[in-house]
């Protein structure tokens, strides 16, 4: 398993409170850490992932879609 370091994670989630946004970010980071088998992507300065949330927000689904897209981009970048 490759090590991964996230220096900064910015979550823009209109409609969520600051606390809810923080929880969303923590879930994203936790799921990325659990992904395992990360490619050795090296230094990727910026990764931008967008995902529209359904109303009401289904946080587990949103986290899964964000993480899937981030991993897809990481794998494509190497």
Q: pLDDT by residue (tens digit) across 11-38? A: 888 888 888 888 999 999 899 888 865 6
Q: What's the predicted TM-score (pTM) here?
A: 0.76
pLDDT for 43: 65
Q: Does residue 8 form part of some domain?
A: no
Q: Does residue 50 form part of some domain?
A: yes
Say if residue 67's pLDDT is above 60.
Answer: yes
Residue of higher predicted confidence among 8 and 19: 19
Q: Does residue 2 form part of some domain?
A: no
Q: Does residue 55 form part of some domain?
A: yes
Q: Does residue 4 form part of some domain?
A: no
Q: Does residue 41 form part of some domain?
A: yes
Contact (CB, 8 A) for 14 and 50: no
Q: Does residue 40 form part of some domain?
A: yes
Q: Does residue 54 form part of some domain?
A: yes
| Structural domain total, the chain | 1
Phi first, then psi, for residue 18 (nearest 5°) are -60, -40
Lowest mean pLDDT among 4-8, 21-25, 35-39, 48-52: 35-39
Structure tokens at 71: 């991993």
Range of the domain at 55: 18-77
């Amino acid at each position: 398993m490759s090590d991964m370091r996230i220096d900064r994670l910015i979550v823009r989630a209109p409609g969520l409170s600051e606390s809810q946004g923080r929880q969303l970010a923590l879930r994203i980071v936790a799921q990325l850490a659990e992904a395992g088998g990360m490619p050795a992507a090296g230094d990727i300065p910026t990764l931008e992932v967008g995902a529209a949330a359904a109303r009401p927000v289904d946080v587990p689904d949103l986290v899964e879609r964000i993480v899937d897209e981030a991993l897809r981009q990481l794998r494509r970048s190497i």
